[in-house]
Structure 1
Amino acid sequence: MLRTSGLTKEFGGLTAVSDVDFALDDGELCSLIGPNGAGKTTFFNLLTGVLTPTRGTIEVRDGGDWRDVTDATPYETASLGLHRSYQITNVFPTSTVLENVRVAAQAASDDSFKLWRNAGAFEEHIEEAYAILDRVGLADEAETPAESLSHGAKRQLEVAVALAGDPDVLLLDEPNAGVSSESVGEIIDLIEDVATDHAVLLVEHNMDIVMNVSDRVVVLNQGAVIAEGDPAEVRNDPTVQEAYLGGYEAGSLDRDRETPTEETGADPEEGAA
């Protein structure tokens, strides 16, 4: 569904992403982990057209063919079925929950530039928005202003917006960041649910979540891939232990009451890297 070859991004003398070969398969949930500044968010920004690579290529599957999107804009990548959520909540705060998703659904359709029509005329997008809100557990909040939601519900709304337009690939940038312990289970369930019919690339610092939900884990350090494999392989890799996991031991993942008992202690990654 998505692949890169030799993907590199340099900012002056700093190489934020270095010669990354990566592939995400249909139906796969792959987690991208690494220490702060490893290049995870920069990698997301390259994939979605926010940044232009210094060199290398990015391709997405378009039907039965691969299409080069190395120099594509965010709108172009989204139109090809590559959608993302953001590390920092990024919704229209004064619009209702329904309107946030409805606008995203319209933007992903042929009606994206029909701005002179009354929003109520776009019944198909309203129906799609209600269906998505039901899926992410926000149907009862449809008429609530987004700014009034709890932080955890705002993260759910971010995923709902990313689902609008039925993308093939979802890039989820720390969907659990800042979520209260009471809401962690809902976010995990949501990640697993969307992975049943989408390819998902997940950035997440909570290693118990990563180890429990991932089909595959890719580890970045100083912009380069240092390991990849199934969760058990990555967890036991000495290079990964030294670069990131340290003394990590698996904790118990109680989805109903609290966060995992053991975490890496890493802070959320800074925006540019």
Structure 2
Amino acid sequence: MLLSTHDLTKKFGGITAVDGVDFTLEKGELCSVIGPNGAGKTTFFNLLTGVLEPTAGSIEFAPSNPEGDRRDDSVIDITAASPHKTALLGLHRSYQITNIFPTVSVRENVRIAVQAHRGRDSWQFWRNVGAFDDHIAEAERILQRIGLTAAADRPAETLSHGEKRTLELGIALAGDPDLLLLDEPTAGVSSEDVSQVTAIIEDIAADHAVMLIEHNMDVVMGISDRVAVLNQGELIAQDVPETVRESEAVQQAYLGGYDPGGVDAGSETDADDGGESGVSAG
């Protein structure tokens, strides 16, 4: 087990956004979270990363490096942990809307993220950035992995939208997290670039656990080890893609009319789902 929730609940006044969710993610698993707009998907991610505190329930995480100096299977209660704490523990996240440092280079965007996850180094503001050779080296490795080495010296604002989404994946990879939570990674990406972003996610999933919120059902059904379905805050199904696709409850709640290779089951962002903008490790 890498991540688990028990009876996880979040209420906003009289509205229950996440309703008693019991969920477990295994190490190395790629799990997609789907559901109609307003189903509670982004609120669920916000709870996992400490952006929101649960009304009830608990969250446990088993990071590979819980103290920064050892690697074991310690299980940590992160129910009340801050976004900064969850990020340092190895739970990183990207958000629905692209937000990077537009005027600095692609390389510098990743290097800053690497430094932010290096503990004490992140507070050494007055040290010459050229001294952080290991940070730069890690940034270069990440850029090579996501295919942006050739764009390393370009200002990030000059990238195409698909390249910016790819850069976000690189930023989320900084610090070698145990788990990446990706909120609609293909949102706004042109059809010809979706396959590139998808290929990068699959590559990342080869050595990281990944959870993603995604409306493109071809992506979900094509790359997921497991699909979890939220509807009105409740987890109504979680299984392999083929079983979820055939579920009558899921068809009624979300997938009715899904045609492989056709129109997405839902292309809007979760405007009613507590959606957040920007990119953050936590």
Q: What TM-score, normalized by structure 2, do the two folds share?
A: 0.92
Hey, what does 1:84 align to over in structure 2? 93
3-state secondary structure, aligned to 1:65: coil
Superposed CA offset, 1:5-36 (max 9, x none): 11111111111111111111011000000000
Choose the corresponding residue for 1:214, options 216, 221, 224.
224
Choose the corresponding residue for 1:94, options 89, 103, 106.
103
Hey, what does 2:3 align to over in structure 1? 2
Choose the corresponding residue for 1:272, options 268, 271, 274.
274
In structure 1, C-alpha distance between the alignment counterparts of 2:264 and 2:43, rounded to whole Å: 24
Choose the corresponding residue for 1:149, options 141, 159, 163.
159
- Contact kept in structure 1, 2:36 and 2:266, CA below 8 Å: no
Superposed CA offset, 1:24-51 (max 9, x none): 1011000000000001111111111111
- Taking only the aligned residue pairs, the percentage that are identical comes to 61
The one-letter amino acid of 1:104's match is: A
Tell me if 1:107 matches 2:107: no
Superposed CA offset, 1:184-230 (max 9, x none): 11011011000000000011001111001000000000111011100
Q: What TM-score, normalized by structure 1, do the two folds share?
A: 0.95
3-state secondary structure, aligned to 1:53: coil
Hey, what does 1:34 align to over in structure 2? 35
**Number of residue-to-residue matches in the alignment:** 264
- Contact kept in structure 2, 1:208 and 1:262, CA below 8 Å: no
In structure 2, C-alpha distance between the alignment counterparts of 1:64 and 1:246, rounded to whole Å: 41
Root mean square deviation of aligned Cα = 1.0
Q: Which runs of 5+ in 1 are unaligned?
A: 252-260
**CA deviation after TM superposition for structure 1 residue 118, in Å:** 1.1
Tell me if 1:195 matches 2:197: no
Hey, what does 2:66 align to over in structure 1? none
Tell me if 1:24 matches 2:25: yes
In structure 2, C-alpha distance between the alignment counterparts of 1:94 and 1:193, rounded to whole Å: 28
In structure 2, C-alpha distance between the alignment counterparts of 1:218 and 1:87, rounded to whole Å: 18
Choose the corresponding residue for 2:233, options 220, 223, 237.
223
- Contact kept in structure 1, 2:107 and 2:139, CA below 8 Å: yes
The one-letter amino acid of 1:76's match is: K
3-state secondary structure, aligned to 2:118: coil
Query: 4+ residue runs of structure 1 moved beyond 4 angstroms?
Result: none
- Contact kept in structure 2, 1:173 and 1:202, CA below 8 Å: yes
3-state secondary structure, aligned to 2:43: helix
3-state secondary structure, aligned to 1:18: strand
- Contact kept in structure 2, 1:36 and 1:266, CA below 8 Å: no
Choose the corresponding residue for 2:140, options 130, 152, 159.
130
- Contact kept in structure 2, 1:204 and 1:210, CA below 8 Å: yes
Choose the corresponding residue for 1:173, options 183, 191, 197.
183
- Contact kept in structure 1, 2:47 and 2:54, CA below 8 Å: yes
Q: Which runs of 5+ in 2 are unaligned?
A: 64-71, 276-282
Tell me if 1:186 matches 2:187: no
In structure 1, C-alpha distance between the alignment counterparts of 2:59 and 2:104, rounded to whole Å: 34
Tell me if 1:68 matches 2:69: no
In structure 1, C-alpha distance between the alignment counterparts of 2:138 and 2:188, rounded to whole Å: 28
In structure 2, C-alpha distance between the alignment counterparts of 1:248 and 1:203, rounded to whole Å: 17
Q: Compared with structure 1, are the counterparts of its residues 269 and 168 closer, same or farther at alpha carbon in structure 2 (3 Å cutoff)? A: same
The one-letter amino acid of 1:79's match is: L
In structure 2, C-alpha distance between the alignment counterparts of 1:227 and 1:54, rounded to whole Å: 22
In structure 2, C-alpha distance between the alignment counterparts of 1:265 and 1:212, rounded to whole Å: 16
